[in-house]
Copies of this chain bind each other. A is one copy, B any other.
C-alpha cells in the first residue's frame, strides 16, 4: 500500500510528504467517510491542525477525496473511487449515514437517479444522502 499512496500523490503532482502520506493511507484503510476530527485524532498522524486542513483541501482540489453533504455542521470526506480529475469530480453515488453507529458509508454501486427539474433549472451536480440503519446495526 505504501506504493499505492506514493503513486496517487505523484499522479497528482503533489510532493510526497509525511502528512500527505499518512493521511492518504488513513483514507485507504478506512473506506468510510472521515471528518477532520477523525484524522486529527488518528494516533499515527499527529500533525498540526492547519496541516490537516490544508492537506484535506489539497486532496479535494486534486480530486483524491470528495465532500459529503450533511445536515449537521460537519464536513466529511471520502476517497473518490471513480475517475475524478483535479477540479472535476465524477462521484455520483449515494451516501448512507447510519443513525445507530453514525458512520457515513459510500454506496459506490448505487447511482444517484436523474430527476426532472422545473422549467429554467439547469442541473450541474446532484448529491443524495440516505439515513437509516446499516447492515451491521440492524
Check if A67 is an interface residue, CB within 8 A of chain B.
yes
Number of copies of this protein chain within its complex: 2
| A130 contacts B115, C-beta separation under 8 Å | yes
Contact indicator A96/B121 (Cβ below 8 Å): yes
Chain A residues touching B, range = 35 or more
> Given known contacts A123-B132, A124-B99, is B67 in contact with A69 (CB within 8 Å)?
no
Is A48 an interface residue when CB atoms closer than 8 A count as contact? no
A69 CA / B123 CA spacing, docked (Å): 17
Q: In the docked arrangement, what's the CA distance between A116 and B111, Å?
A: 10
Partner of A124, one of B112, B113, B128, B131: B131
Residues on the B chain within 8 Å of A109, using CB? 118
- Chain A residues within CB distance 8 Å of chain B: 67-75, 94, 96, 99, 107, 109-110, 112-113, 115-136, 138
